[in-house]
Amino acid sequence: MTHGNGNGRPLQLTAKDFKSDQEVRWCPGCGDYAILSALQSFMPELGIPRERLVFISGIGCAARFPYYMETYGMHSIHGRAPAIATGLSVSRPDLSVWVVTGDGDALSIGGNHLIHALRRNVNIKILLFNNQIYGLTKGQYSPTSELGKVTKSTPMGSLDYPFNPISLALGAEATFAARSIDTDKRHLTEVLRKASAHRGAAFVEIYQNCNVYNDGAFDAVREQRENRIVLEHGRRIRFGADGERGVIQRADGSCELVDVADVGEEALVVHDENQEHPSLAFALSRLAHTPHGPTPIGVFRNVDRPVYDELMQEQLASAAQLSGEGDLEALLHDGDTWRVDGH
């Protein structure tokens, strides 16, 4: 194995190189395993040496993730990973910084940090493992749990209307928003590939089955493939066992599920993830507020906007050009000074 630190040889890392020596401690059957394995397999493709990769997490089952990656990593505190990652990414543009978070971590206690990292377009990749439950604290409802959900903390059913993570990200000015499924390695890898290639903040929601506290939450799309509305750039949006169903856009901008036979192929929406205006992406995100029927997966939005880290770097460079490299002596003397002579 090489580190590719300037010897001209290409990196030859494999998935194994990204496995740390720590024993993985999720419950057997947890969807997190599949995501970890997909990510470890994908990492070599990035061509980034391990020492320049950093995984930062908050608290929750998903937050154990960094311990299992043979990269730099920090298991931080509840909800704060996007803030910590922002400081790291902004001060170290040479690093590739990834945030691993969950629905409680990112959307409840850390909601503020998530939306601000997205709007600033900080160069971090945010992977949200959504299992619609609090797993680590043993089964309370989360901000993505469906209305009426009975959990330990909601014996009479949840009163909270859930977030739709993709809608939220789009509303927070995300330049990249995508969704995938823990067990669909091929799809997940494709989404990760696009996320890592994106300049700026990339938000990826991953449906992750918590088989202990919320088993089957995503069965409608995880198991019933005909419910996956796979978004593919430049293609008409069709789904169903034989592509017999599709998506049209109404005059008011909202999207609707139809039988292709009823409307004709020409009427179907052509997906355009690069559309500057977020309306289509948002309308698509509203097709399924919770994943209990046909649900879009794939890249909703992928657009270019100046990256916070780069903008800051440019300001530093232009300040140095304008006022010269900082000189402490000159700084201290900047302003009205006077001399007192010896006596």
Partner 1 sequence: MTKPVEKLDQVIIRFAGDSGDGMQLTGSRFTSETAAFGNDLSTLPDFPAEIRAPAGSLPGVSGFQIQFSDHDILTPGDAPDVLVAMNPAALRTNVGDLPKGGTLIVNRDAFTERNLQKAGFEGNPLEDGSLAEYHLHEVPLTNLTLEALKSIDITKREAERSKNMFALGLMSWLYNRPTEGTLSYIERKFATRPLIAEANTIAFKAGYAYGETTEDFAVSYEVGPAKLPPGTYRNVTGNQALAMGLIAASTQSGLPLFLGAYPITPASGILEDLARRKNFGVRTFQAEDEIAAVGAALGASFGGALAVSTSSGPGVVLKSETIGLAVALELPLLILDIQRAGPSTGMPTKPEQSDLLMVLYGRNAESPVPVVAASTPGGCFDAAIEAARIALKYRTPVFLLSDAYLANGSEPWLLPDVSSLPDISVLFATEPNVDGEFWPYIRDESTLARQWAIPGTPGLEHRIGGLEKQDGTGNVSYDPDNHDHMVRLRARKVAGIAADIPELDVDDPDGARLLVLGWGGTYGPIAAAVRRVRQGGGRVAHAQLIHLNPFPRNTGDVLRRYDRVLVPEMNLGQLLKLVRAEFLVDAVGYNRVRGLPFRSDELANAIEAML
Beta strands in 67-190 (DSSP E): 72-75, 96-102, 124-130, 176-181
Supply the minimum distance, in Å, between the C-beta of residue 234 and partner 1.
36
Q: Counting contacts by CB under 8 A, is residue 7 touching partner 1?
A: no
- CB burial of 228-266 (b: ≥16 within 10 Å; e: otherwise) equals bbebeeeebbbbbeeeebbbbbeeeeebebeebeeeeee
Sort 292 into a burial class: Cβ within 10 Å, 0-12 / 13-18 / 19+.
middle
Q: For residue 266, give the nearest of 240, 236, 230 by alpha carbon.
A: 236
What is the contact mask toward ligand SF4 in residues 284 to 323, using x (rule: CB under 6 A)?
Answer: ----------------------------------------
50, 179, 198, 222: which one contacts partner 1 (CB under 8 A)? 50
Q: How many residues bind partner 1 (CB under 8 A)?
A: 63
Q: What is the rounded CA–CA span in Å between residue 182 and residue 247? A: 24
Residue 50 interacts with which of ligand SF4, partner 1, none, CB < 5 to 8 Å by class: partner 1
* Rounded CA separation 49/271 (Å): 34
Instruction: In angstroms, give the least distance from the CB of 78 to partner 1.
Output: 8
325 touches which of partner 1, ligand SF4, none (CB within 5 to 8 A by kind)?
Answer: partner 1
Binding mask 23-52 for ligand SF4 (x = CB under 6 A): ---xx--x-x--------------------
83 makes contact, choosing from ligand SF4, partner 1, none, with CB < 5 to 8 Å by partner type, with: partner 1
Residues 38, 63, 166, 210: which binds ligand SF4 (CB under 6 A)?
Answer: 210
- Other C-beta atoms lying within 10 Å of the C-beta of residue 209: 24
The alpha-carbon radius of gyration of the chain (Å, integer) is 23
Nearest residue (CB) to partner 1, 243 versus 306: 306
Map the footprint of partner 1 across residues 93-112, applying CB under 8 A. Answer: 94-95, 112
One residue of 20, 211, 224, 254 binding ligand SF4 per CB under 6 A: 211
Choice between 89 and 209, CB closer to partner 1:
89
* 331 interacts with partner 1 by CB under 8 A: yes
Look at phi and psi of residue 243 and say left if phi exceeds 0, alpha if psi is from -120 to 50, else beta: left
Q: 271 with 233: CB under 8 angstroms? A: yes
Task: Give SS3 for 234.
Answer: coil
- Residue range at the interface with partner 1 (CB under 8 A); choices 28-36, 67-75, 202-210, 268-276: 67-75
Stretch that binds ligand SF4, among 67-75, 195-203, 208-216, 232-240 (CB under 6 A): 208-216
Closest CA to 259 of 249, 272, 248, 270: 248
**What is the closest distance, in whole angstroms, from the C-beta atom of residue 286 to partner 1 in the complex?**
26
Residue 113's identity, in one-letter code, is H
Residue closer to ligand SF4 (CB basis): 39 or 255: 39
CB contact at 8 A, 166 and 205 = yes
What is d(CA 77, CA 69) in angstroms, rounded to the nearest whole number?
18
Residues that bind partner 1 (CB under 8 A): 3, 5, 20, 22, 49-52, 54, 56, 59, 66-67, 69-77, 80, 83-92, 94-95, 112-113, 115-116, 312, 315-316, 319-320, 322-326, 328-329, 331-333, 335-343
**Would you tell me which residues interact with ligand SF4 (CB under 6 A)?**
26-27, 30, 32, 61, 131, 135, 210-213
